[in-house]
């Protein structure tokens, strides 16, 4: 690979000839008449031409080797152009070459839309794993869904979230190859569709490895019924086309109503069925001279990324039994040796269950198979003398509900959590009954992030600084080498460089926010950032309540000692999640009130960014001073945003939750800010907790909470703020008040903010803390995580 990079560097003329030829070929225009869109797609073609040979070679040489197959409903890859150039080692050269012919690289780079293939941390983790597997030369194949519209594009109108389609492929897709010949037939009870694969190259970092991400798109066999059209039934003529395309139109269709649940299960079964068929078909082709299905697990290990792809388990059994004549019990044993399961949550509502009637409507044969597995499981437990009541927690089917996590645990070689605390909770609580009888299956794999995307590409200033201080770029291949930066912790000149890099990044973000949100923010202020999916357990509303109280305190005492602070929030709420949408409205209303108040807005600003996504994150993480990781202890499985902030020199303000704990361990508690009750304390008070005690005893809490219903903040008669108020104070509908303990943690949260505000002015000490975090971020590389999967679970 290094030789190939040198060829490109030495043969700039050939590269430019190819680029200009591609530009004119795809447009039939003279160079000077082409647009940024034309220039972007021509560059995609030119890069793809340079990786195609290596991609084919990697596919060919691994046909008969053991590979990991990563099944995930999400792959949040973001933009591909810059990242691919970084991994090829030619980013700077290409920018220089384009500059020589007066092409603004940034303009064509910004033309690319983020691939709308995911939502949050789950999907971004999958993307980081694809990058790390290739960079560590691990043969891993990704399988997912090619969503036409993604989750949605978030618009903020009058403070409310409005969802629009995120049609990221409207102008084409320069990084995917349609492989029509590998199409599969997926049969539902009432519908048959064609699954067409689109392959995306996943490049290793300067090493010649190109793995594949295969995304399935649902299409009809007949796009148009001429007889209906000719009979003036125009909608009917394209009905089958629309029904087929609906399956892969949107990520996580709204499932409040039954129709949505059916569509969501169809989506899951669709990509799992196509992927399983693909694997089995290739296995039969590559091993046709010695075809023994007992050897299937020797060449395949399928990692299930959370509960969404678990239906792949009965689907493999179906394909083995119904399409290849394998005895059912043999098929079950083969399947048990093939799958591994990653759990990403301790929230019961996120551990998928499917009603029997919906499973029968979508994939009835899979239900038959699950029922047989369940019957055998129950039979085995009864033979051991367990009562019906004792067996209940283990049942895969109970009260006509199919518990997918139980199916995955029974049928997998491994069950892993994604942070030390998360795995401990799985063992001690969530899956304790399983852990007691099969402890050998359970293990921890703390999540990680790829340094190529989240430092080398998104924070070039800091990346160059690290290379300069360490004397080489070896750290890009082994992030543990960042530890060597600790020798500069007492170097005043280096600490000043750290502060200056952060300041330049903050100026970049300020310009971008002005351009995108039309809000002026001060780069000299503290940038306090919370960006993630909107959910009550992530407690964005704790952040907002504190901002409200802070606003009131500054308003009453304009001369109070306070370091100017900009609070930046961002994230999407699921379309059917009323309270999460209420939190977004609240954030925007608080921002409106504060930002227009001349008595306060020089000291305090609030921004809720619109349509948070990977490319926005690439600007936010490098600019952050404070990383808000304030979930209720025990609720966040891991988090990966916390790692991206740490790697870029932000200090973590967080609870003792998820991977925060390991961040505090690695970088030191004294270099971050911890607050809030721990899991053990919350468990001990859960039944007796009374939020009204905090509300009545603490005037700051009462001040902030009352503002929700005092008329100071306007929710446009949506009753959203009243709903948040009631959720904190008044139990309703069987739901406990303040079930995420905002009011219990509020005072501690307020005090740690006061400490931050006081300590930030000591710029040298702050820079030392930032450098300490950067130097100890090596453990959180997804390279380390993927190597642990390969060694401990996949055995490759």
Q: How many CA atoms lie within 13 A of 44 on its CB side?
A: 22
Angle in degrees, 0-180, between the axes of helices 540-556 and 742-759, rounded to the nearest 10: 60
Alpha-carbon distance of 367 to 317, in angstroms, equals 11
Catalytic residue among 67, 445, 538, 753: 538
**Other Cβ atoms closer than 10 A to 90:** 21
Query: Quick check: helix, strand or coil at residue 625?
Result: coil
Q: What share of the chain is helix, strand, coil (3-state, %, to 5)?
A: 55, 15, 30
Catalytic residue among 423, 640, 652, 785: 640
Give catalytic status of residue 285 as yes or no: no
User: Are 447 and 441 contacting, i.e. CB atoms less than 8 angstroms apart?
Assistant: no
Catalytic residue among 532, 585, 619, 750: 532
How does DSSP assign 706-766, residue by residue? Answer: HTTTSSSS--TT--HHHHHHHHHHS-BTTBPTTTT-HHHHHHHHHHHHHHHHHHTT-HHHH
Sheet with 651-654, strands from edge to edge, namely: 604-609, 565-570, 526-531, 626-629, 651-654, 673-674
Catalytic residue among 422, 581, 585, 644: 644
Alpha-carbon distance of 508 to 232, in angstroms, equals 57
- Using only C-alpha atoms, the chain has a radius of gyration, in whole angstroms, of 27
Residue found under tokens 């303009």: 107
Assigned token pair, 434 = 């399983």
**Which residues does 10 contact at the CB level (< 8 Å), separation at least 6?**
none
Assigned token pair, 123 = 């999907």
Catalytic residue among 39, 264, 452, 533: 533
Q: How many CA atoms lie within 13 A of 109 on its CB side?
A: 18
Alpha-carbon distance of 136 to 316, in angstroms, equals 29
**Other Cβ atoms closer than 10 A to 2:** 9
The phi, psi pair for 305, rounded to 5°, reads: -85, 90
Output b/e per residue, 504-535; b: 16+ Cβ within 10 A: ebbeebbeebeeebebebbbebbbbbbbbbbb
Give catalytic status of residue 338 as yes or no: no
Give catalytic status of residue 640 as yes or no: yes
**Which residues does 633 contact at the CB level (< 8 Å), separation at least 6?**
655, 656, 657, 676, 677, 678, 679, 682
Q: Nearest-CA neighbor of 583 among 693, 730, 742, 694? A: 742
Give catalytic status of residue 532 as yes or no: yes
Q: Nearest-CA neighbor of 82 among 57, 106, 51, 118? A: 106
Q: Nearest-CA neighbor of 528 among 747, 757, 765? A: 757
Give catalytic status of residue 335 as yes or no: no
**Other Cβ atoms closer than 10 A to 391:** 17
Q: Nearest-CA neighbor of 614 among 133, 70, 81? A: 81
Alpha-carbon distance of 76 to 95, in angstroms, equals 25
Q: Catalytic residue numbers?
A: 344, 532-533, 538, 640, 644
């Amino acid at each position: 690979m290094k030789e190939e990079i040198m060829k490109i560097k030495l043969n700039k003329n050939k590269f430019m000839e190819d680029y200009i030829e591609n530009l004119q070929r795809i447009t039939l225009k003279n160079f000077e008449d082409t647009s940024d869109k034309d220039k972007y797609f021509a560059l995609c073609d030119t890069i793809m031409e340079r990786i195609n040979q290596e991609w084919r070679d990697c596919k060919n040489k691994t046909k008969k080797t053991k590979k990991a197959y990563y099944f995930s409903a999400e792959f949040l890859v973001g933009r591909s152009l810059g990242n691919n150039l970084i991994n090829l080692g030619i980013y700077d050269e290409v920018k220089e070459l384009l500059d020589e012919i007066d092409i603004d690289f940034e303009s064509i780079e910004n033309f690319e839309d983020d691939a709308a293939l995911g939502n949050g941390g789950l999907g971004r983790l999958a993307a980081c794993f694809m990058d790390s597997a290739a960079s560590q030369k691990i043969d891993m194949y990704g399988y997912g869904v090619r969503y036409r519209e993604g989750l949605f594009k978030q618009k903020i109108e009058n403070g409310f979230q409005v969802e629009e389609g995120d049609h990221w492929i409207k102008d084409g897709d320069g990084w995917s190859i349609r492989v029509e010949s590998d199409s599969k037939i997926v049969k539902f009870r009432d519908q048959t569709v064609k699954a067409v694969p689109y392959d995306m190259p996943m490049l290793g970092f300067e090493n010649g490895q190109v793995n594949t991400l295969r995304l399935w798109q649902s299409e009809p066999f007949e796009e148009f019924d001429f007889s209906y059209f000719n009979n003036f039934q125009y909608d009917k003529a394209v009905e089958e086309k629309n029904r087929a395309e609906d399956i892969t139109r949107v990520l996580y269709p709204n499932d409040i109503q039954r129709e949505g649940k059916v569509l969501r299960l169809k989506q899951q079964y669709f990509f799992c069925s196509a992927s399983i068929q693909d694997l089995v078909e290739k296995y039969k082709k590559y091993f046709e001279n010695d075809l023994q299905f007992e050897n299937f697990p020797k060449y395949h290990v399928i990692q299930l990324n959370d509960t969404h792809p678990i239906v792949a388990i009965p689907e493999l059994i179906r394909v083995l039994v119904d399409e290849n004549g394998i005895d059912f019990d043999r098929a079950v044993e083969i399947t048990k040796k093939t799958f591994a399961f990653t759990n990403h949550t301790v929230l019961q509502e996120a551990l998928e269950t499917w009603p029997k009637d919906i499973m029968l409507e979508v994939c009835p044969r899979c239900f038959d198979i699950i029922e047989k597995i369940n019957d055998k499981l129950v039979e085995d437990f009864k033979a051991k003398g367990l009562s019906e009541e004792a067996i209940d927690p283990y049942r895969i089917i109970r009260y006509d509900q199919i518990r997918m996590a139980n199916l995955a645990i029974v049928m997998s070689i491994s069950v892993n959590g994604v942070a030390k605390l998360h795995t401990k909770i799985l063992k001690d609580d969530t899956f304790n009954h399983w852990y007691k009888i099969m402890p050998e299956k359970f293990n921890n794999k703390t999540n990680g992030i790829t340094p190529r995307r989240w430092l080398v590409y998104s924070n070039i200033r800091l990346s160059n600084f690290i290379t300069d201080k360490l004397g080489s770029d070896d750290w890009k291949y082994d992030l543990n080498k960042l530890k060597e930066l600790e020798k500069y912790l007492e170097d005043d000149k280096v600490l000043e460089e750290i502060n200056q890099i952060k300041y330049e990044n903050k100026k970049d973000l300020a310009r971008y926010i002005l351009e995108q949100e039309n809000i002026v923010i001060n780069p000299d202020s503290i940038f306090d950032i919370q960006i993630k999916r909107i959910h009550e357990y992530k407690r964005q509303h704790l952040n907002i309540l504190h901002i409200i109280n802070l606003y009131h305190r500054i308003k009453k005492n304009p001369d109070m000692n306070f370091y100017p602070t900009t609070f930046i929030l961002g994230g999407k709420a699921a379309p059917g999640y009323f309270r999460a949408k209420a939190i977004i409205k609240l954030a925007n209303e608080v921002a409106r009130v504060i930002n227009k108040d001349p008595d306060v807005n020089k000291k305090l600003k609030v921004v809720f960014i619109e349509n948070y996504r990977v490319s926005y994150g690439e600007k936010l993480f490098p600019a952050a001073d404070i990383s808000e990781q304030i979930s209720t202890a025990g609720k966040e499985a891991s988090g990966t945003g916390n790692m991206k902030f740490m790697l870029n020199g932000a200090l973590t303000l967080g609870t003792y939750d998820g991977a925060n704990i390991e961040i505090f361990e690695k970088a030191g508690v004294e270099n971050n800010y911890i607050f809030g009750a721990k899991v053990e304390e919350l468990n001990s008070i859960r039944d007796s907790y009374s939020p009204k005690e905090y509300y009545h005893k603490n005037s700051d809490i009462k001040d902030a909470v009352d503002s929700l219903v005092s008329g100071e903040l306007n929710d446009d008669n949506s009753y959203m703020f009243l709903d948040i108020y009631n959720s904190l104070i008044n139990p309703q509908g069987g739901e406990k008040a303040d079930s995420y303990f905002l009011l219990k943690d509020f005072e501690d949260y307020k005090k740690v903010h006061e400490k931050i505000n006081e300590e930030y002015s000591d710029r040298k000490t702050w820079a030392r803390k930032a450098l300490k975090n950067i130097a100890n971020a090596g453990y959180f590389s997804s390279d380390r995580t993927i190597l642990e999967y390969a060694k401990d679970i996949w055995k490759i």
